[in-house]
């Protein structure tokens, strides 16, 4: 695959290795990088650095240069709202076009990395990303790659999304704050500003906050109020502990058509409750939302705001890696 030829005959060929330029006392470094396609303008400079003969890459049928391999890998895995850059030394970088939630198919990533001579590194699934954030890198490990390996990637990924970014949808959200101590004015509510700030970060809106005492029927009435207003999501703060006066979970259960979970294995945020009234999420927020910067609520919220439904299986998996030192 490597061929020694005269410099003057090398136009259009790719260099097989880096070429170094040395100017005594002034400069020593790379003059041409591996894989560079030689042009007519390069010939004088190559001769100046003492290269009358060089090794070039001669690709046989069924083989690809590292750059082409990386490009085809990137094309095969790129989904919606993902951009790719020009190849550099056999690597292509994928970046996010928007502010959203990165979606990565972990199983396919592992399948690709089981193929010889190829490497795919990605961010974790469900990572919140800004525009321009790096999502992944594709790389061919040797300079020359068998094309059949890339064809395997293309076959594995056909019709599937491997890496994409989902945009956040602007949700109109209602908040019910429960607890007789707040309802009767004994203490000031602190949940409202915290919840509103979290929603605004995703482009969503807290349309109204209402209050209820520790009474199941009154809490249910406030949930119904928001459901009748056709909000996109109902949040409830307060009354989520195991104390006998905390009635919020009972009210959520009675208003829900499906309860996904009451409690999670993640800490902090173990008292999070996730339910649905038809397609409208109803969440009971753990007390940790008030004082911990990251709880189970912060894991579930972005998923909901891209239009995905949280499942019990996903909640169960929150325990692994879900301890944040509370």
C-beta of residue 94 within 8 angstroms of C-beta of residue 84: yes
The separation between the first and the last C-alpha atoms of the chain, rounded to the nearest angstrom, is: 58
Determine the longest span between alpha carbons in the chain, in angstroms.
91
Give me the sign of the Cα torsion angle 84, 86, 87, 91: negative
pTM of the model: 0.86
How is the chain split into domains, by residue range? 2-57, 63-166, 172-319
Q: Which two tokens stand for residue 284?
A: 């009971």
At 277-315, the pLDDT tens digits run 999 999 999 999 999 999 999 999 999 999 999 999 999
User: In the prediction, which pLDDT does 302 show?
Assistant: 98
Rounded Cα distance, 92 and 83, in Å? 10
pLDDT (tens place) for every residue of the chain, 326 residues total: 677 889 899 898 888 777 888 878 787 888 888 778 899 999 999 998 888 988 777 778 999 988 899 999 999 999 999 999 998 878 999 999 999 999 999 999 999 999 999 999 999 999 999 999 999 999 999 888 999 999 999 999 999 999 999 999 999 999 999 988 898 889 999 999 999 999 999 999 999 999 999 999 999 999 999 999 999 999 999 988 877 667 999 999 999 999 999 999 999 999 999 999 999 999 999 999 999 999 999 999 999 999 999 999 999 999 999 999 76
Q: Is the CB of residue 66 less than 8 Å from the CB of residue 59?
A: no
Q: Which of 74, 253, 204 is nearest to 150 (CA)?
A: 74
Q: Which long-range contacts link 47-52 to residues 24+ away (Cβ below 8 Å)?
A: 47/7, 49/19, 49/20, 49/21, 49/22, 51/7, 51/19, 52/6, 52/7
Say which DSSP state 242 is in: S
Q: For the segment 102-133, what is each residue's pLDDT rounded down to a tens digit?
A: 999 999 999 999 999 999 999 999 999 999 99
Residues 6 or more apart from 247 whose CB is under 8 A from it?
178, 214, 215, 216, 219, 239
Domains 63-166 and 172-319 fall in the same CATH topology = no
pLDDT at 244: 65
d(CA 50, CA 68): 30
Smallest Cα–Cα separation from 205: which of 326, 305, 79, 76? Answer: 305
Provide the pLDDT for residue 243: 72
Backbone angles phi, psi at 254, to 5 degrees: -75, -25
Q: What is the second-level CATH architecture of the domain 63-166?
A: Alpha-Beta Complex (3.90)
Task: Quote the tokens at residue 241.
Answer: 């502990």
Four-way CATH pick for 2-57: 3.10.250.10, 3.90.105.10, 3.40.190.10, 3.10.150.10: 3.90.105.10
Q: pLDDT value at position 60?
A: 86
CB 126 within 8 A of CB 302: yes
CATH 3.40.980.10 fits 172-319, yes or no: yes
């Amino acid at each position: 695959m490597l061929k020694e030829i005269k410099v003057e005959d090398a136009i259009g060929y790719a260099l097989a290795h880096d070429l170094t330029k040395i100017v005594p006392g002034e400069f020593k470094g790379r003059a041409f990088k591996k894989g560079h396609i030689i042009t007519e303008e390069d010939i004088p400079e190559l001769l100046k650095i003492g290269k009358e003969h060089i090794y070039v890459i001669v690709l046989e049928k069924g083989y690809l240069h590292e750059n082409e391999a990386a490009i085809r890998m990137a094309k095969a895995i790129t989904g919606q709202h993902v951009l790719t850059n020009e190849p550099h030394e056999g690597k292509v970088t994928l970046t996010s076009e928007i502010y959203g939630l990165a979606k990565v198919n972990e199983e396919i990533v592992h399948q690709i990395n089981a193929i010889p001579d190829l490497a795919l590194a990605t961010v974790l699934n469900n990572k919140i990303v800004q525009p321009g954030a790096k999502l992944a890198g594709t790389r061919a490990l040797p300079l020359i790659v068998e094309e059949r390996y890339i064809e395997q990637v293309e076959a594995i990924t056909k019709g599937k999304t491997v890496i994409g970014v989902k945009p956040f949808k602007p949700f109109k959200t209602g908040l019910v704050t429960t607890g007789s101590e707040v309802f009767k004015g004994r203490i000031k509510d602190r949940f409202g500003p915290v919840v509103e700030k979290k929603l605004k970060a995703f482009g969503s809106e807290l349309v109204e906050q209402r209050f209820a005492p520790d009474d199941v029927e009154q809490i249910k009435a406030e949930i119904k109020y928001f459901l009748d207003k056709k909000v996109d999501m109902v949040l409830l703060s307060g009354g989520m502990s195991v104390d006998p006066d905390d009635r919020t979970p009972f009210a959520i259960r009675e208003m829900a058509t499906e309860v996904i979970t009451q409690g999670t294995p993640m800490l902090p945020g173990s008292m999070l409750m996730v339910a649905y009234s038809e397609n409208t999420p109803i969440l009971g927020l753990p007390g940790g939302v008030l004082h911990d910067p990251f709880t189970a609520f912060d894991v579930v919220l972005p998923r909901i705001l891209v239009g995905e439904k949280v499942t019990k299986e996903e909640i169960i998996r929150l325990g692994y890696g879900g301890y944040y030192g509370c």
